[in-house]
Amino acid sequence: MSDQEQVIQERLRQAGNLPRHIAIIMDGNGRWARRRNLPRIAGHREGVRSVRDVVEACGQLGIEVLTLYTFSIENWQRPKEEVTALMKLMVRTVRRELNDLLKNNVKLMTIGRLEDLPKPTRDSMKDAIEKTKHCTGLILNLALSYSGRREILDAVKKVAQKVRTGELNTNQINEEVFSQYLYTANLPDPDLLIRTSGELRVSNFLLWQMAYTEIYVTDVLWPDFRRGDLYKAIEAYQKRERRFGLLSEQVKHVKTFGQSES
């Protein structure tokens, strides 16, 4: 890491309000490849470099959770050859990066329907999850065969089953209880969502969890996105006032009151 980058990271940490959880919609791989007259898989391969750089930077900054929208349920509708190539790329990438994940104390997790993945891909993910489960640094959370609507429906079914068996009373169901039945149970909601390639939509991603998430959109295509772009997103986040439905004056009062009580 260069001296300049160390200065940037220290400045971000000194600001005192780093996001605990960053979620990224990694968009633009296909366009990146098309502009270079390359097959789409070339964009996905270059996107892996971006993942590696961002994961490393998040770990160095002390970010708790990084959730990457890796493969949606809708992505299964893409051409079969692209899907097959993506699944093989995931296997190679997980196997190649496993030692670095361990060295950097990164814990791998997944959300979504892992059972939908081909067996080699599923097995490689499970192996990496098992081998990194003791890690205590950054949680790298991959959304695979994921759908925000399906996640909510799956949670509703689990809650309904608990009510049917008498393990849960309807009067006990609130937002906190319901959240424990989502794929992201025990993880903080995202503070910052980054979407690359300039698209202005959430694409069925973490619909429940993003109720109060700050959204940052950049025109940079994912294969070109590197830690410098990440730092810009975090700096923009740190300049915002998160009100959670309150007035600005109320937020300032709460902060002042909390400081005086501490």
Name the CATH superfamily, with its identifier, for domain 3-157+184-261.
Answer: Decaprenyl diphosphate synthase-like (3.40.1180.10)
Report the C-alpha gap between 209 and 216 in whole angstroms.
16
Check residues 252 and 174 and name the one with the higher pLDDT.
174
Other C-beta atoms within 10 Å of 168: how many? 17
* pLDDT over 50 at 262, yes or no: no
Tens digit of pLDDT for each residue in 47-93?
999 999 999 999 999 999 999 999 999 999 999 999 999 999 999 99
Terminal-to-terminal C-alpha distance of the chain = 36
The confidence score (pLDDT) of residue 258 equals 58
* Helix (H), strand (E), coil (C) string for 148-179: HHHHHHHHHHHHHHHHHCCCCCHHHCCHHHHH
Question: What residues pair up with 109 in beta bridges, in sequence order?
Answer: 141
Q: Between vectors from CA 215 to CA 209 and to CA 217, what angle results, nearest 5°?
A: 135
Q: Is residue 146 a contact partner of residue 207, using CB atoms and an 8 Å limit?
A: no
* pLDDT over 60 at 158, yes or no: yes
Other C-beta atoms within 10 Å of 11: how many? 12
How much is the pTM? Answer: 0.92
Length of the chain: 262
Percent of the chain with pLDDT over 70: 92
Strands in the chain per DSSP E? 21-25, 65-72, 107-112, 139-146, 192-195, 214-217
Helix (H), strand (E) at residue 42: helix 40-61
Q: Is residue 227 a contact partner of residue 56, using CB atoms and an 8 Å limit?
A: yes
Residues catalogued as catalytic: 27, 75
At 5, the amino acid letter reads E
Q: What is the mean pLDDT of the chain?
A: 94
The confidence score (pLDDT) of residue 3 equals 87
Tens digit of pLDDT for each residue in 186-198?
999 999 999 999 9
Residue 204's pLDDT band, with cuts at 50, 70 and 90, is very high
At 70, the amino acid letter reads T
> What DSSP state is assigned to residue 242?
-
At 82, the amino acid letter reads E
Q: What is the mean pLDDT of residues 95-109?
A: 98
Tens digit of pLDDT for each residue in 118-131?
999 999 999 999 99
